[in-house]
Chains A and B, each alone.
Chain A
């Protein structure tokens, strides 16, 4: 009799623990995704979020998303950093995090997008001298992202965004940017994230570029 009671109870218990763990992961991720939304005001707050994601990734071991977001936060720190001599190290940190995400989820279009951002980040340190290597790396990563998931709006958004801030003489400006942004916006409309933790960023920025270009 005892056994019969213990067994279902143990079942219940383990299900509870699993559910609780999944719940804990979801909760922690959501909490940090919310924090990420508001963290762009300073590198300090982005760093806190980046480290939070990295800890979740280290603890979970099988989830690519925490590392992905940690890399995303780090590369944005790199873009915001004023002291150019520090940027390469930050971008390298982002790469090491992204490599961990890549090991858990290979040929992932979202990861290729961050790869492209990291290359751009390295490039910004000295665009004149680094355009050749990192400019190429960055655009190749975006081409890869497009083929890995043609429905992903973010490669188009990133291309459009970089064109927006490229001088017209270099083939940038609204003229070339807008078609890419509109392409991205069409994809944002139909894009279905794989889960409620999956990346959704970029739409608002794309909309503001579109609005700015249509002025």
Chain B
């Protein structure tokens, strides 16, 4: 009896003395050995880790039926019940690779993305503000990337043979109609919005998503920042003005609000840096913005951004059609922009994104022809110089409502669909030299519906298939625009992408009154890209072809005014672009090179034949260099932009032939510009400092190279005159101070 018990106890207590070896090999479904997988028997300590050949082997004292598990990040998990009965066990384990954000290919054809988090991006938000030639303007930085033109005589982005109006800008999904300050004749206008407002930037030079429309060439998609890191005040003083602001983060870090105000007066700067124009009203701006951001309970975010600005400027410049007359031009502008945005998780993989925006813009422009004594000149003889006296008041309202939902499916697959509604009203009131008034109002309502799906056929092959349908009340017809992009992962961190899409845009508003019922302008994009990113070095090459159809053509009406004639204009743009960025080869030095070749011709507006438009250069290249020198607490940034000469034309209406002819043409000298900026952070690393100043200096056209943007012709005499920068060089010096809380943490980041 006792003996039986003793044996039983001994058997139980020392049950495990018989060890069994479990071994095998783990591979993926293609037979590639998997290293680092954890092999275990559930609820026991027993197990091991696979070696570089996928082999594993361990001993166990467990017996009977046991659950063997094999896990490796990025692969399907493996489970199998095994019976351990004294004999060694050998297993072949084969698991499928999962499609995850980490290993899956990313669709990149046509676009540059600046993001901190996402992979496959070649830029970060910081790059946008530390590019020397950017001068604190979001779009300025983009002009050092392939696909953009170095157009300095007017604001906006000229992308791949497209005009500035073919590029649209979105903030949190909502279209921004007056992203740039109102344009002045012959003077480039900057973007209104502070680059620090945005945490993510996608610049698409073509083939963009079905979520956006109404841009024949390019979409710039900006995403505003979330909650600020901390509460702080700010103060800035520079050669162009002063400003102050506050960002308040709630104690629970779930909400925040902010206000800023800036006053700019370019008088002092223009007194030091002589301007080509003679300013009788120096540019003066008041700008204020406000925001609030609230994190929702389900992890969504409600954001509101409000912007208000007023500005005035007036200057005299020599009249092109005479030797001693001048044009005195002045502009008063009031601009407002409101953007309300909600992103919310609805549960079960559904996400909702809604937005409302409303903006207004009033431009009051006046031009007066003056003699040397600055008195108004009105004479019809000869040739209607009197028409150079005019005033225009443009009042615009834009509203947008947008909603879409996204459903995440298995793997990384997703579907998105939604709708947009735009309302726009533009009132133009024109007053002639003799007080004769003419005005017109254009009102449009544009409705759009879109759907898009992300399809991952494998981790190496992804497709984005989408479509967009739009109906403009003005055009009064539907358009349907298919969009497709594909990406395929190659060996050694390379990938190939393709994009195709059809894009529609409403007629430009200045041409609309004369041509009701004309259809949409249309462009089709075909893009092929190769990209390789490895260890802080990125390379990409892109070939594109773009076909334009239904562009607007113009004619002269009986009053000699330019009016829309038809929409049978055509054009094409094709080219190849390269981008190379290297943060590695030289320690602490970061540089990128971009090059664009562009072959484009179009027949539109008053072009008598298909010609290369005057805003396109054949070769464009940029070199951007950034270096932060720690001992000096200073970041140095330089940029060299180059473009071959652009064509220019004098296109005139020949009454005898009853058609437009090219009366004169030529090519400008090549464009060279070296810009330089430095950021000095004197309190860098002083953790006890309550005040954190950043001193910024930037110089444009350091070498003082002669730059001719283009040529303009007198409408009366045909006199030719170059369009030159407003000054040979501009120097900006400013000090940005944050206070209230320690800002050392952002030191490296905010070196503007």
Q: Does chain A bind chain B?
A: yes
Q: Which residues of A approach B to under 8 Å, CB–CB?
A: 2, 5-6, 9, 12-13, 16-17, 20, 24, 28, 44, 47-48, 51-52, 54-56, 58-59, 83-85, 88-89, 93, 126-133, 135-136, 167-172
Given contacts A16-B13, A24-B45, A129-B749, whether A169 and B630 have CB atoms under 8 Å apart is yes
Partner of B36, one of A6, A47, A84: A47
Give the CA-CA distance A133 to B536 in the complex, in Å: 21
**B747 contacts A170, CB within 8 Å?**
yes
Given contacts A127-B748, A129-B116, A132-B746, whether A55 and B685 have CB atoms under 8 Å apart is no
**B749 contacts A56, CB within 8 Å?**
no
**B116 contacts A89, CB within 8 Å?**
no
> What A residues does B748 contact at CB under 8 A?
127-128, 131, 170
> What B residues does A167 contact at CB under 8 A?
630, 685
Would you give the shortest CB distance from A73 to chain B, in whole angstroms?
11
Q: Which 4 A-B pairs have the closest CB atoms?
A: A171-B685, A51-B38, A170-B685, A129-B124
Query: At the interface, yes or no: B229 with Cβ under 8 Å from chain A?
Result: yes
> What B residues does A12 contact at CB under 8 A?
9
**B631 contacts A55, CB within 8 Å?**
no
Would you give the shortest CB distance from A88 to chain B, in whole angstroms?
8
Given contacts A58-B40, A129-B126, whether A136 and B745 have CB atoms under 8 Å apart is yes
**B685 contacts A59, CB within 8 Å?**
no
> What B residues does A5 contact at CB under 8 A?
2, 5
**A89 contacts B73, CB within 8 Å?**
yes
Would you give the shortest CB distance from A57 to chain B, in whole angstroms?
10
Given contacts A51-B38, A171-B686, whether A126 and B43 have CB atoms under 8 Å apart is no
Would you give the shortest CB distance from A62 to chain B, in whole angstroms?
13
**B73 contacts A48, CB within 8 Å?**
no
Given contacts A51-B49, A170-B684, whether A128 and B119 have CB atoms under 8 Å apart is no
**B684 contacts A20, CB within 8 Å?**
no
> What A residues does B495 contact at CB under 8 A?
none
Given contacts A47-B36, A51-B38, A136-B229, whether A9 and B9 have CB atoms under 8 Å apart is yes
> What B residues does A59 contact at CB under 8 A?
43-45
Query: Which of chain B's residues 13-45 have a Cβ closer than 8 Å to chain A?
Result: 13, 36, 38, 40, 42-45
> What A residues does B630 contact at CB under 8 A?
167, 169-170
Given contacts A13-B9, A129-B126, whether A56 and B745 have CB atoms under 8 Å apart is no
**A131 contacts B45, CB within 8 Å?**
no
Given contacts A28-B45, A84-B535, whether A171 and B116 have CB atoms under 8 Å apart is no
**B126 contacts A93, CB within 8 Å?**
no
Query: At the interface, yes or no: B12 with Cβ under 8 Å from chain A?
Result: yes
> What A residues does B706 contact at CB under 8 A?
none
Given contacts A169-B631, A171-B686, A172-B685, whether A132 and B49 have CB atoms under 8 Å apart is no
Q: How many A-B residue pairs have CB under 8 A?
A: 99
Query: At the interface, yes or no: B47 with Cβ under 8 Å from chain A?
Result: yes
Query: At the interface, yes or no: B48 with Cβ under 8 Å from chain A?
Result: yes
Would you give the shortest CB distance from B747 to chain A, in whole angstroms?
7
Would you give the shortest CB distance from B587 to chain A, in whole angstroms?
13
Residue of B nearest to A29 (CB): B45
Partner of A126, one of B1, B46, B49, B124: B124
**B38 contacts A54, CB within 8 Å?**
yes
Partner of A128, one of B42, B44, B126: B126
Query: At the interface, yes or no: B673 with Cβ under 8 Å from chain A?
Result: no
> What A residues does B747 contact at CB under 8 A?
170
A-B contact pairs, 19 of them (CB 8 A): A2-B1, A17-B12, A47-B49, A55-B38, A55-B40, A55-B45, A58-B42, A59-B45, A89-B102, A93-B73, A126-B116, A129-B116, A131-B745, A131-B749, A132-B749, A133-B116, A135-B745, A169-B630, A170-B744
> What B residues does A13 contact at CB under 8 A?
9, 12-13
Query: At the interface, yes or no: B296 with Cβ under 8 Å from chain A?
Result: no
Give the CA-CA distance A172 to B748 in the complex, in Å: 14
> What A residues does B535 contact at CB under 8 A?
83-84
Would you give the shortest CB distance from A34 to chain B, in whole angstroms?
15
Give the CA-CA distance A170 to B631 in the complex, in Å: 10
> What A residues does B395 contact at CB under 8 A?
none
Residue of B nearest to A6 (CB): B5
Give the CA-CA distance A84 to B686 in the complex, in Å: 30
Query: At the interface, yes or no: B295 with Cβ under 8 Å from chain A?
Result: no
Would you give the shortest CB distance from B9 to chain A, in whole angstroms?
6
**B633 contacts A169, CB within 8 Å?**
yes
17 A-B pairs besides A12-B9, A55-B44, A129-B116 with CB distance below 8 A are A6-B5, A13-B9, A13-B12, A13-B13, A20-B13, A44-B36, A44-B51, A51-B38, A52-B47, A52-B49, A55-B40, A126-B116, A128-B126, A129-B124, A131-B749, A132-B229, A171-B687
Would you give the shortest CB distance from A77 to chain B, in whole angstroms?
9
Would you give the shortest CB distance from B251 to chain A, in whole angstroms?
15
Give the CA-CA distance A44 to B36 in the complex, in Å: 8
**B45 contacts A56, CB within 8 Å?**
yes
**B126 contacts A168, CB within 8 Å?**
no
Residue of A nearest to B14 (CB): A20
**A171 contacts B9, CB within 8 Å?**
no
> What A residues does B229 contact at CB under 8 A?
132-133, 136
**A169 contacts B684, CB within 8 Å?**
yes
> What A residues does B116 contact at CB under 8 A?
126, 129-130, 133
> What A residues does B46 contact at CB under 8 A?
55
Give the CA-CA distance A21 to B9 in the complex, in Å: 16
Would you give the shortest CB distance from B22 to chain A, in whole angstroms?
13
**B745 contacts A132, CB within 8 Å?**
yes
> What B residues does A44 contact at CB under 8 A?
36, 51-52
Would you give the shortest CB distance from A189 to chain B, in whole angstroms?
27
Partner of B749, one of A16, A84, A128: A128
Provide the B725-752 mask, 1 if CB < 8 A to any CB of A, else 0. 0000000000000000000111111000
Residue of A nearest to B120 (CB): A85
Would you give the shortest CB distance from B74 to chain A, in whole angstroms?
8
Residue of B nearest to A57 (CB): B45
Provide the B95-107 mask, 1 if CB < 8 A to any CB of A, else 0. 0000000100000
> What B residues does A17 contact at CB under 8 A?
12-13
Provide the B112-142 mask, 1 if CB < 8 A to any CB of A, else 0. 0000100100001110000000000000000
Would you give the shortest CB distance from B211 to chain A, in whole angstroms?
26
Give the CA-CA distance A169 to B13 in the complex, in Å: 64
Would you give the shortest CB distance from A160 to chain B, in whole angstroms?
14
Would you give the shortest CB distance from B225 to chain A, in whole angstroms?
11
**B685 contacts A169, CB within 8 Å?**
yes
Residue of A nearest to B629 (CB): A169
Residue of A nearest to B747 (CB): A170
Query: Which of chain B's residues 171-194 have a Cβ closer than 8 Å to chain A?
Result: none
Give the CA-CA distance A167 to B44 in the complex, in Å: 47
> What A residues does B52 contact at CB under 8 A?
44
> What A residues does B125 contact at CB under 8 A?
129
> What A residues does B36 contact at CB under 8 A?
44, 47
Give the CA-CA distance A93 to B12 in the complex, in Å: 38
Residue of A nearest to B37 (CB): A51
Give the CA-CA distance A190 to B9 in the complex, in Å: 45
**A48 contacts B49, CB within 8 Å?**
yes
Residue of B nearest to A136 (CB): B745
> What B residues does A83 contact at CB under 8 A?
535
> What A residues does B12 contact at CB under 8 A?
13, 17
